[in-house]
Structure 1
């Protein structure tokens, strides 16, 4: 999950030109507009971001399960109502 911010930042650099110029940029956020290199960089960044988001969702589900179990145990022990 520590790579999620980096993956999203890289994806942002690739697509930031879409709003301004309607063109893709390379993963450095400059040059190579709408070239195969820029398209490949954007696709790679999108895949990486999707993988990182999927990992983050898994971590969130695990955390939610853990918290629900802990809450149930604390309630059972009378610590919380």
Structure 2
């Protein structure tokens, strides 16, 4: 299934000529379904880019500041157990 360099070159030339022909005719897509699929792809790619920008902005804004120590209330100690008064006679 390996292609020689000449076959690969001819295939690339044919693909390039096809793309250039479509560009010249201003008809990039063969049907409305192709156009719809391309629009859906662009929406998906745009959403991914926006989410990545939001993650980067979150990391830059929140991670650059020094971490704040947690405040522990002195009255709230960790409970080791609770008496079950329902068991009392």
- Which category describes the TM-score, using the shorter chain as reference length? 0.3 to 0.5
TM-score by length of 1: 0.46
**Which has the larger share of helix?**
1
